[in-house]
Amino acid sequence: MKILTVCSTGLGSSFMTQLNIEKALKQLGVSGVETDHMDLGSATPNDADVFFMGRDIADSGQGLGDVVALNSLIDMNEITEKVKAALERHGVQVPGKE
């Protein structure tokens, strides 16, 4: 399974979101999920199973497939909850711990 974070430049906001998603995966006790960040213009549906991005560019990203819109890129509660849901959607086992 692969999660890609996307923003307009592919360097700042998306990178920060990737780091926070890795933190969430660690907190959830899930390993083996690949993560990366990229700019919206370069991302293609084949690049990942799930695409995380800020709510304002989520409409432009709809063609990518499974798109998750984040209200905040630094709210660990929201990120952890949405990562967990995405993992479950794609059949990845999430151990019970937070």
Partner 1 sequence: MWLYEILQGGKVLEEFLRPGAVLYEDNVEGWQQAVDEAAQPLLDAGTIRPEYVDAIKESIAKPGGTYMDLGSGVALAHARPEAGVVQTSLSALHVGQPFLLADDPDHPITTMFCLAAEDANKHLSLMQALATFLSSEANQERLAKVSSSQELESVLTAVEQ
> Contact positions toward partner 1, by CB under 8 A?
7-9, 11-13, 15-16, 18-20, 22-23, 26, 35, 40, 53-54, 56-57, 60, 70-76, 79
Tell me how far apart the alpha carbons of residues 80 and 59 are, in angstroms, rounded to a whole number.
22
Kindly state the smallest distance separating residue 48's Cβ from partner 1, in Å: 15
Tell me how far apart the alpha carbons of residues 70 and 91 are, in angstroms, rounded to a whole number.
21
In terms of CB distance, is 73 or 86 closer to partner 1?
Answer: 73
For the purposes of burial, counting CB atoms within 10 Å of the CB of 53, is it exposed (0-12), middle (13-18) or buried (19 or more)? buried
Tokens, residue 81? 């909850």
Kindly state the smallest distance separating residue 4's Cβ from partner 1, in Å: 14
Kindly state the smallest distance separating residue 73's Cβ from partner 1, in Å: 5
